[in-house]
C-alpha cells in the first residue's frame, strides 16, 4: 500500500484545470502541457509511477517511463491510449464512464433540436437585426415529428439518448457490435441497414480502428435526402470528405457535429455549410460533470496505489486481470 502523496504522477498534455489543481494537492505532479517529456532526466522519468491524461498516450511515451504502473484517462473514449501496449506491459488503463452520461445525452438532444429546427441559424438571424428588417425567420423544412432515429452505439450514453428521445414520440432503432437482450428497440446487424431504416442517425460509439470511417458515402446515401446526421461519438467514425460532399449536394439534409477528425481544427468547407451545426466538443463540458470525471481519475489513481480494486478499468485491462495492484 502506497499513499498517493508519495507518488509522482505525470500529466502529459492538457488536463481539466480543476482536476489538475486537486491532483497537485494529493501527489507529486510533473506537468508537460505539450506532451513532450524529452527534457526529463532519466531519474525524473524513473520516478513517474502513474499518468493522468486527457488524450494521447503512445507506446513510446509508456516505454520512456520504466516504472509506470497505471494510466488514468480523463474521458470515456480512450482510443488515443495504446491500450494493447499498456496491457502487454502490465499497465492498467482506466476511464471515466457513467459520470458524464447524462450531460452528453442532454447535449445530444440539444444538438438534434438545433439541427432539425435550425435554432442556431434563427438566433443569428435575430442578432443580425433581420427579424425586424426582413420579417419572420423562414419556416424550417425539418421537424422531429414523425422521425425515425437510429443510434450507432447503444451503450451507456446511447441508452440515455434513447430514453430522452422516447417522449418525443420518434421511433428508435440501433446498430451495435451485438444485439442487446434488455431493450425492445429494433436491432440492425449493419450500419447500412440501420441507415436504410431511419431518417436520423446519431453516433454514440467509441473511436478506434473498429469504427474508423464507418459512416461513409454509402451510409450517408442510404440515410437519404431528408436525413439528419448527429455525431457526439468521435470524429474518426465519419469520412469527413464524404460528409461534406453529402451536405453540399443534398444527399442528406443536415448534420449536427460535436466532434471532428482533426480537433481543434475544423475544415473550412464544413464551417461554410449552412446546413451544419457545429459545436467545439462540448458534450460533457459542464464544470459539474468535468469535476466528477476528474474525481474518478484521481480515485482510480488512489485505489491503485492503495492496493484496492480499480473503480473503472477499461475492458482490455479487466480481461487481462489488471484491476488491482499486486
Q: Which of 234, 290, 302, 303 is catalytic?
A: 234
Q: Which three cell numbers stand for residue 71?
A: 494510466
Q: 162 falls in which pLDDT band (50, 70, 90)? A: very high
| Mean pLDDT for the stretch of residues 264-288 | 97
CA 216, 222, 226 angle in degrees (round to 5)?
A: 110
| Mean pLDDT for the stretch of residues 119-139 | 98
Q: Where are the domains of the chain?
A: 4-97+287-319, 101-278
Nearest CA to 292 out of 9, 98, 4, 81 is that of 98
| Mean pLDDT for the stretch of residues 5-31 | 96
| 281 given a catalytic annotation | yes
Q: 55 falls in which pLDDT band (50, 70, 90)? A: confident
Nearest CA to 317 out of 95, 72, 92 is that of 92
Q: What is the pLDDT of residue 246?
A: 98
Q: What is the pLDDT of residue 321?
A: 97
Residue 229's φ and ψ, nearest 5 degrees, are -115, 130
Q: Which of 281, 299, 308, 316 is catalytic?
A: 281
Which uninterrupted H or E stretch holds 271?
Answer: helix 268-271
| Mean pLDDT for the stretch of residues 13-30 | 96
Residue 251's φ and ψ, nearest 5 degrees, are -60, -40
| 288 given a catalytic annotation | no
Quickly tell me which residue has 474525481 as its cell. Answer: 295
| Mean pLDDT for the stretch of residues 17-32 | 96
Residue 59's φ and ψ, nearest 5 degrees, are -60, -40
Q: How far apart (Å, rounded) are the C-alpha atoms in residues 189 and 288? A: 37
Q: Which of 123, 166, 179, 263 is catalytic?
A: 263
- Percentage of the residues of the chain whose pLDDT score is greater than 90: 98
Reply yes or no on whether the pLDDT at 317 is more than 90: yes
Q: 52 falls in which pLDDT band (50, 70, 90)? A: very high
For 101-278, CATH gives 3.40.50.720
- Percentage of the residues of the chain whose pLDDT score is greater than 70: 100
Q: Which fold, 4-97+287-319?
A: Rossmann fold (3.40.50)
Reply yes or no on whether the pLDDT at 205 is more than 90: yes
Q: Which three cell numbers stand for residue 227?
A: 436525413
Q: 87 falls in which pLDDT band (50, 70, 90)? A: very high
| 263 given a catalytic annotation | yes
Please, what's the b/e burial string for 34-57 (b: 16 or more CB within 10 A of its CB; e: otherwise)? ebebeebeeeebebbbbbbbbbeb
Q: What is the pLDDT of residue 229?
A: 98
What is the chain's mean pLDDT, rounded? 97
Quickly tell me which residue has 476528474 as its cell. Answer: 294
Q: What is the pLDDT of residue 1?
A: 82
Q: Is the dihedral of CA 287, 293, 295, 297 positive or negative?
A: negative
Whether the domain at 4-97+287-319 and the domain at 101-278 fall into the same CATH topology:
yes
Region class of 118: left (phi > 0), else alpha (psi between -120 and 50), else beta: left
Amino acid at each position: 500500500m502506497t499513499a498517493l502523496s508519495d507518488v509522482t504522477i505525470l500529466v502529459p498534455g492538457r488536463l481539466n484545470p480543476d482536476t489538475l489543481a486537486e491532483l497537485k494537492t494529493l501527489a507529486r505532479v510533473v506537468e508537460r502541457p505539450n506532451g513532450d517529456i524529452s527534457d526529463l532526466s532519466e531519474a525524473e522519468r524513473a520516478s513517474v509511477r502513474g499518468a493522468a491524461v486527457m488524450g494521447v498516450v503512445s507506446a513510446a511515451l509508456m516505454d520512456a517511463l520504466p516504472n509506470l504502473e497505471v494510466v488514468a484517462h480523463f474521458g470515456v473514449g480512450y482510443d488515443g491510449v495504446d491500450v494493447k501496449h499498456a496491457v502487454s506491459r502490465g499497465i492498467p488503463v482506466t476511464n471515466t464512464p457513467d459520470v458524464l452520461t447524462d450531460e452528453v445525452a442532454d447535449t445530444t438532444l440539444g444538438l438534434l433540436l438545433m439541427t432539425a429546427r435550425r435554432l442556431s441559424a434563427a438566433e443569428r438571424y435575430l442578432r443580425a437585426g433581420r427579424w425586424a428588417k426582413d420579417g419572420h425567420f423562414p419556416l424550417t423544412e425539418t421537424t422531429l415529428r414523425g422521425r425515425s432515429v437510429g443510434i450507432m452505439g447503444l451503450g451507456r450514453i446511447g441508452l440515455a439518448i434513447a430514453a430522452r428521445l422516447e417522449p418525443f414520440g420518434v421511433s428508435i432503432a440501433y446498430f451495435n457490435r451485438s444485439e442487446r437482450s434488455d431493450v425492445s428497440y429494433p436491432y440492425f446487424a449493419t450500419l447500412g441497414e440501420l441507415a436504410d431504416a431511419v431518417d436520423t442517425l446519431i453516433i454514440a460509439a467509441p473511436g478506434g480502428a473498429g469504427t474508423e470511417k464507418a459512416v461513409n458515402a454509402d451510409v450517408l446515401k442510404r440515410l437519404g435526402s431528408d436525413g439528419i446526421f448527429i455525431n457526439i461519438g468521435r470524429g474518426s467514425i465519419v469520412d469527413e470528405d464524404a460528409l461534406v460532399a453529402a451536405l453540399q449536394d443534398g444527399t442528406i439534409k443536415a448534420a449536427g457535429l460535436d466532434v471532428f477528425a482533426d480537433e481543434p481544427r475544423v475544415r473550412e468547407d464544413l464551417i461554410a455549410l449552412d446546413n451544419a451545426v457545429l459545436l467545439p466538443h462540448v458534450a460533457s463540458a459542464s464544470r459539474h460533470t468535468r469535476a466528477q470525471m476528474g474525481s474518478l481519475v484521481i480515485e482510480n489513481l488512489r485505489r491503485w496505489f492503495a492496493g484496492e480494486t480499480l473503480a473503472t478499468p477499461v475492458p482490455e485491462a479487466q480481461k487481462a486481470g489488471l484491476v488491482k495492484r499486486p
